[in-house]
């Protein structure tokens, strides 16, 4: 198999990929337990020379393709879960599940990975090593990748002759409506941010709205904390190693003439390095506690760690970029100037294995990516033809990695 033929081979798989994608899109599932999705994937993989392991803690599927020659293993990831939100795209195959939608394109990821499994299976005799297809649930905040890793995803049995087959690389695609079909983008180092949950409870003293001097109003204290956190970011965090604190909810009180006892601040904290992540956590605690103390109040601060920084291995990102350039043209492979501030649980895989993630454009020529509905929108639209270069990229990266590592 040569790189130049991969797009043609992927084009032969597009009808089956579209069929599977639409089936998954009509019946989306959220979280870590996706029985309908798992059954659909297993049916699509039926007949391929794969050793399949069904994970028990989630609906994860690990499918291993073993080549004719010994060698290392490369992991290819496709996430399978949807989002708890309505769909308003008007597509003929719109979601049939109320308030559940594949708004982040995981249905296309799954279909592309199945297509790549078919393509690589047809070239099994050329493989020196193994390909581990990771069909993963629970990416949308449910830690699906971590569950699969904890269950032994990377602990593959050796070849029959006892030769070990270490996982030496990992690759994932993420479809996006912010790029035109036929393009891709990535970068070495930090690709996506960490994401942590913030909850601050300000404890004051309740009372009558007409007598604030006899109470200790937590609401203005909460408001001051929110503003001070934003100033803390601009004055203590390096602008070239950024962080974002976004408060999405402030809750207090029950009616207009009662000063409540407590107020809650809830939001998200994002960073693109472990050092800044730790520094901003310390800053939040210092600012919130200091402001509350200055007013005679107290605070409880809970920062729940979410996904870590998604950090591409520099060498692997450069390698994948080169392969992508051969498949779709170097002028269609863009280098991201800075990380995206969204988060990804492929980060757990990249902490364990050198690899990279790449964004795959999926907005057709007649639409403007700058104004197209974004991922996670109830109206997001993904061009299904984008799955052709996607399947070719999965296949090409796997083949080239095994060739260079063997």
The reported pLDDT for the residue numbered 364 is 95
* Maximum C-alpha span of the chain: 83
* pLDDT one-digit tens code per residue, 24-46: 999 999 999 999 999 999 999 99
Answer for the pair 134, 29: CB distance below 8 angstroms, yes or no: no
Q: What is the DSSP string of 44-102?
A: HHTTSSEEEEE-SSSS-EEEEEE-SEEEEEEEEEEE---BSS---S--TT---STT-B-
Please, which pLDDT band fits residue 107 given cuts at 50, 70 and 90? Answer: very high
Q: 145 falls in which pLDDT band (50, 70, 90)?
A: very high
H/E stretch holding 171 reads: strand 167-180
Mean pLDDT across 338-349: 97
Residue 156's pLDDT band (cuts 50, 70, 90): confident
Q: Which residues contact 35 (CB under 8 A, 6 or more apart)?
A: 29, 59
Structure tokens of 312? 């591409």
Which tens digit of pLDDT belongs to each residue from 392-405? 999 999 999 999 88
In order of their start, the domains of the chain are 3-192+309-405 (3.40.630.10), 194-304 (3.30.70.360)
Cβ neighbors of 144 (< 8 A, separation 6 or more) are 32, 58, 60, 79, 81, 136, 137, 138, 345
Question: What pLDDT was estimated at residue 157?
Answer: 58
The phi, psi pair for 363, rounded to 5°, reads -110, 120
Catalytic sites, residue numbers = 307, 384
């Amino acid at each position: 198999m040569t790189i130049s033929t991969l797009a043609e081979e992927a084009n032969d798989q597009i009808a089956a990929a579209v069929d599977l994608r639409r089936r998954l899109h009509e019946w989306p599932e959220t979280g870590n337990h996706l029985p309908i999705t798992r059954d659909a994937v297993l049916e699509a993989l039926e007949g391929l020379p794969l050793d399949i392991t069904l994970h028990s803690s989630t609906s994860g599927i690990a499918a291993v393709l073993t080549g004719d020659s010994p060698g290392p293993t490369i992991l290819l990831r496709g996430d399978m879960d949807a989002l708890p939100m309505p769909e308003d795209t008007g597509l003929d195959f719109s979601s049939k599940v109320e308030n559940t939608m594949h708004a982040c394109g995981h249905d296309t990821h799954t279909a592309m990975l199945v297509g790549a499994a078919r393509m690589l299976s047809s070239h099994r005799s050329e493989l020196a090593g193994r390909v581990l297809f990771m069909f993963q649930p629970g990416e949308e905040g449910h830690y699906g990748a971590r569950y699969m890793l904890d269950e032994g995803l990377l602990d593959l049995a050796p070849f029959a002759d006892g030769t070990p087959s270490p996982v030496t690389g990992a690759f994932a695609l993420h479809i996006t409506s912010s790029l035109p079909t036929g393009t891709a983008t990535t970068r070495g180092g930090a690709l996506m941010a960490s994401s942590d949950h913030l909850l601050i409870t300000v404890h004051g003293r309740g009372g009558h709205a007409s007598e604030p001097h006899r109470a200790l109003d937590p609401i203005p204290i909460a408001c001051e904390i929110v503003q001070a956190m934003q100033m803390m970011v601009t004055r203590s965090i390096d602008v070239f190693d950024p962080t974002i604190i976004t408060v999405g909810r402030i809750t207090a009180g029950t009616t207009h003439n009662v000063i409540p006892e407590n107020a809650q601040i809830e939001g998200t904290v994002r960073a693109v390095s472990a050092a800044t992540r730790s520094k901003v956590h310390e800053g939040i605690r210092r600012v919130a506690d200091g402001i509350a103390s200055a007013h005679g109040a107290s605070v409880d601060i809970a920062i729940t760690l979410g996904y870590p920084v998604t950090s591409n291995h520099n060498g692997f990102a450069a390698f994948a970029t080169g392969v992508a350039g051969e498949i779709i043209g170097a002028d269609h492979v863009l280098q991201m100037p800075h990380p995206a501030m969204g988060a990804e649980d492929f980060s757990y895989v990249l902490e364990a294995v050198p690899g990279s993630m790449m964004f795959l454009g999926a907005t057709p020529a007649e639409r403007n990516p700058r104004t197209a509905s974004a991922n996670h929108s109830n109206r997001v639209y993904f061009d299904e033809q984008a799955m052709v270069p996607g399947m070719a990229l999965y296949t090409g990266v796997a083949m080239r990695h095994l060739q260079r590592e063997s």
